[in-house]
Structure 1
Amino acid sequence: MRIALFDHYRIGIVDGTSVADITDVVDSRWHGTPYVINELIEHFDELREPLRAALASAPTQALADVTLLPPLPRPGQLLAAPANYHAHVAEMTTSRYRPTSEQALRSPREVGFFVKAAGSISGPADPIELPALPGRAFHHEVELGVVIGRTARGIPAEQVADHIFGYVILLDLTLRTEGVRQEERTLRKSFETFTPIGPFLVTADEVADPGNLGLRLWVNDELRQQANTRDLIVGIGELIEQASNVVTLRPGDLYATGTPEGVGPIEVGDVVRAEIDGLGELSLPVVERGW
């Protein structure tokens, strides 16, 4: 299924260019709140049949007539893998924005994950907003986002697939600077709108092999990033295994798996477009933050 969140936190199942409203399968206490999708994810096994029944008579609308929201606005935890493609590590080693700490260039197997503020999440209808910080650069990073579907604590890699609900396109925007001045990674990646996701949450059964998905990102129609998740240094199973041995992962948590080479700057006036095989496309204007 391709699950959308739209308008006033309505849940929709997308079929081609239309969306069927199945919000009523979720307890009404959660209607109109960003947590309605978390409730669907947590109870999806028991709601699977009511959902299928609801689809038979659900009201539908054209996708063009609704406003798409981030499909997971309030993940309980937003975790992210550092340097997880060899070619990206190589390009950062020679970049003018090279990290001052060698640790920032080590793989998740060596240093684990970092945390982004969940408040940085934005969606398909939201522009990327850049704060006015003269002398600083803002870089794009396209990534595969993994949505947890079942509680995971200390699980081995070979069982990870049973705990994944689905996948999203995710952009990890990053504030960068030259020289020794470097804020904490969490701050540099946690400005509002610095984690666009969407356009839909695609359930795991629709993704035959998440370890073999093409990723692409354009800025103003210039192809900047192109790679495949088979090039991940640390694969999805090992990433989730490691995280689940640090903290219990729960339904609705989100894990960003790392970005490939081609990371580069964006500026006000640009349009950033990203796609991942089978997950759709995000196309977002870049604007100056108004506050």
Structure 2
Amino acid sequence: MRIALFNDYRIGSVNGSRVADITEVVDTRWHGTPYVINEFIAHWDQINPSISAAMDRADTHELAGVRLLPPVPRPGQILAAPANYRAHVSEMTGSRHRPANAQALLSPREVGFFVKSPGSVSGPSDAIELPPIPGRSFHHEVELGVVIGKPARGISRERAREHIFGYLVLLDMTMRTDGEHQEERTMRKSFETFTPIGPFLVTADEIADPTALRLRLWVNDELRQDADTADLIVGVDELIERASAVVTLQPGDIYATGTPDGVGPVEAGDTVRAGIDGLGEMSIPVTERGW
């Protein structure tokens, strides 16, 4: 199932160019709030049998005529894997954007995960807004985003997919420096609009193998990133296993699995287009922040 969140936090089932409004399957107290999708995910087992009937009664809209919101606008947690593609490790090791005294780039197997602020989430209809900070550049990173469906605490990698609700396209925008001073990673990646997600949330049953998906990103139609999740150093199942040994993962939490090589700068006026096989594609303008 391809799920869209649209207009005033309506939940839609996407079929081709049409979206059917199935918000009614969630308790009305959550309607019109960004948490409606969290409730949808958390109660999926109870909701799923009623979706077919809801679709028969649903108002439908042209997908092109609605405003797509981030599919999960209020995740409780955003966890992210550092240095999870070998080619990206190689390109960043000698990058001028890494201070000479920076820690060596290590995979999630050695160093675990970092976090991004949930307030950085934006959607496929929102611009990436670059803050006016002298001496800094801003880089794109396309990633597979994993959305948790059931609470996960201390689970094995063999059971990890039982706790995954679905997948989405995610951009991990990053502020970088050319000098020796570098702000904390969480801050550099947590500016508002620095985690665009979308265009849809695709349920796990639609994706046979999350470690066999092609990721691509273009800036102004120039292909910058082109890789496959088969190249992940630490795969989806192990990432969930390791994270769940640290903190209980909850429905609606997002795990960003890492970016491949080809990261590079964007500037106001650019357009970033990113897509992953089976998950859709987003095209997002880059602007200067107005505040």
Superposed CA deviations along residues 217-247 of structure 1, whole A, max 9, x for unmatched, are 0000000000000000000011000000000
Name 1:281's counterpart in structure 2: 281
Aligned identity (percent) is: 72
Kept after mapping to 1: 8 A contact 2:99/2:181: no
Deviation digits for residues 72-104 of structure 1 (CA, Å, limit 9, x no counterpart): 000011100000000000000111112555545
Report how far residue 144 of structure 1 moved: 0.1
User: 1:113 corresponds to which residue?
Assistant: 113
Q: TM-score, normalised by structure 2?
A: 0.99
Other-structure match for 2:205: 205
What do the CA deviations read for 1:7-38 (whole angstroms, capped 9, x no partner)?
A: 00000000000000000110001000000000
Aligned length: 291
Question: 8 Å contact 1:2–1:201 — kept in the other structure?
Answer: yes
Q: Kindly report structure 1 stretches of 4+ aligned residues shifted beyond 4 Å.
A: 99-102
Q: TM-score, normalised by structure 1?
A: 0.99
Displacement, 1:135?
1.7
* Correspondence for 1:180: 180
CA separation of 1:99 and 1:170: change in aligned 2, threshold 3 A: farther
Aligned to 1:89: 89
Query: Which residue number in structure 2 is paired with residue 264 of structure 1?
Result: 264
Specify every segment of 5 or more residues in structure 2 that has no aligned partner in the other structure, as ranges.
Answer: none
Counterpart-to-counterpart distance in 1, 2:188 and 2:104: 13
In structure 2, the partner of 1:166 is 166
* Aligned twin of 1:32: 32
Code of the residue aligned with 2:127 in structure 1: it is P
- Structure 2 CA distance for aligned equivalents of residues 224 and 253 of structure 1: 28
The equivalent residue for 2:11 is 11
For residues 257-282 of structure 1, give each alpha carbon's deviation from its aligned partner in whole angstroms, at most 9, with x where no partner exists. 00000000000000000000000001
| Equivalent runs, 1:6-155 vs 2, <5 Å | 6-100=6-100, 102-103=102-103, 105-155=105-155
Q: Is the 1:99–1:105 contact (alpha carbons within 8 Å) kept by the matching residues of 2?
A: no
The residue type equivalent to 1:216 in the other structure is: R
CA RMSD of aligned residues (A): 0.9
Q: Which amino acid aligns with 1:40?
A: F
> For the Cα contact (< 8 Å) 1:136–1:175, is it kept in 2?
yes
Are the aligned partners of 1:219 and 1:266 in contact in 2 as well (CA < 8 Å)? yes
**SS of residue in 1 equivalent to 2:248:** coil
> Would the aligned equivalents of 2:216 and 2:225 in 1 still touch at CA under 8 Å?
yes
The answer (yes or no) to whether the contact 1:211–1:229 under 8 Å persists in 2 is yes
Q: Please give the per-residue CA displacement for 1:203-223, whole angstroms capped at 9, x wherever unaligned.
A: 000001101000000000000
Distance 2:226 2:93 in 1: 19
Q: Is the 8 A contact 1:21 1:58 kept in 2?
A: yes
Equivalence for 2:236 = 236
Bigger mean CA deviation after superposition, 93-102 or 162-171:
93-102
Deviation at 1:50, TM superposition (A): 1.0
